[in-house]
Amino acid sequence: MTLDIHTLFLVTTYVEAILGLLLLFAWAQNMALRAVCWWGFAHLIRLSSIALFGMYGSIPDLVSIDVSNALLFTAYAATWTGARVFDGRPVEPVYMVTGAVLWLLICRLPVLADHANTRALIVAGIITSYIWLTAYEFWRGRSEPLVSRWPAIIMFFAHGALFLLRTPMIALLPVAANSDGVFGSVWMTVLSFEALLLTISSAFLLLAMAKERTELRHRTAAMVDPLTGIANRRSFMQDAALMGKQHIADPRPTAVLLIDLDHFKSINDRFGHTLGDRVLEIFTDAARKSTRGSDLIGRLGGEEFAAMLIDTNRDKAVEVAERIRESFAQMAQEVDGRAVCATVSIGLVHTEAPALDLPELLAQADQALYCAKERGRNRVEVASLDMIVARPTAADAAAAIGAKTATKSAAQSAA
């Protein structure tokens, strides 16, 4: 079997069918990946276009050329739509069929009836537009850390450029001896082979992107609090530990905040857990607006949050904590039409030590938070030596309870 246009035609037919079914099978395994479904049907639509084109001469030109090209445009439009769906953008039904409708109208014009090269340029222009639009959609979502996205962008852009050059290259470069029209062009064979390779490569790149997206979301789900969208306890501790290692190489003043919503159980009891969840979301919004992008914020569990402020002096840290407290009190004054009047208490510890002992800093911030609660709540307290000395430890409390129990038992025995 020689590598000519006829052989490539048959190979392309089989490849389009296999790739289309492969993508649809991948979608059936995870129907949340709707973009993969669009890409699978794009290959099957392109297969039907190639099949009609292969019947050229045995069926009317209206079907083998005009309808075939209309289906081809729809296939590339489906690929573009899949790229939009992949990044959460809406389907555009009108633009999906614009290329096909425009072609069917243009090819009916008598002035273009005998201008095959012009018609071929129009075909190439429409296809290139959809391919470049696909590359653009992927580029728009470049903020998502998917390694496969960038090769896909480059490949679709290059594919569009080569497709646009295909018609002038075939027209200008020599045709093989004993040619039978366009099928006899050596360059048609070369460019068709290039298109086949890019079709296969792009299909596997799209599958890789979908797989990478799924894995990324699974990793993110394990590290992000699903309600508030900020770091969960595990993620906060890991990120804080990493910041602690970086701090050793470049020590900077650091503050740790431990934050607790006041009387949160009472809010849930009075207004329900749905509104309680809204209060947590409102606090997260207030905290984000009151801190820098470089600051670390996490939900440790329930109504308890923590923040780590790097390169922040003591006065600035207190100012940030007060801003969080005041902003939240204002935003949570009324929630969904209910007078909630939620507040927070904040314990703060500040250090300029060359190494960060995160467990110790959190323990000191917790002692400051305890003082804030004891002194009336809705306030910021900064950890000090007096707090550390004044607050009894768990061991002291247990010893006191044991002594009290022993005294009571002795009194009962004496009685």
Q: Is 303 among the residues known to form the active site?
A: yes
Q: How many CA atoms lie within 13 A of 152 on its CB side?
A: 26
H-assigned helices in 55-148? 61, 68-86, 93-106, 116-140
Residue identified by tokens 């984000």 is: 288
Q: Which of 137, 303, 326, 360 is catalytic?
A: 303
In whole angstroms, how large is the CA radius of gyration of the chain?
33
CB count within 10 Å of CB 377 equals 14
pTM check: above 0.85: no
Distance CA 256, CA 238 (A): 15
* Distance separating the N- and C-terminal Cα atoms of the chain: 110
CA distance 108 to 101: 11
What distance in Å separates the CA atoms of residue 12 and residue 136, rounded to the nearest whole number?
26
Q: What is the pLDDT along the chain (415 residues), one digit of tens a residue?
A: 455 667 777 888 899 999 999 999 999 988 888 999 999 999 999 999 988 988 888 888 888 888 999 999 999 999 999 999 999 999 999 999 999 999 988 888 887 777 777 888 888 899 999 999 999 999 999 988 889 999 999 999 988 888 787 766 655 555 444 444 444 455 556 666 777 888 888 899 999 999 998 888 787 778 888 899 899 999 999 899 988 888 888 889 999 999 999 999 999 999 999 999 999 999 999 999 999 988 999 999 999 999 999 999 999 999 999 999 999 999 999 998 899 999 999 999 999 888 888 899 999 999 999 999 999 999 999 987 555 444 444 444 344 434 444 443 444 344 3
> 3-state class of 146 per DSSP?
coil
**Domain extents in the chain:** 5-223, 233-383
Classified by CATH at the fold level, domain 233-383 comes out as Alpha-Beta Plaits (3.30.70)
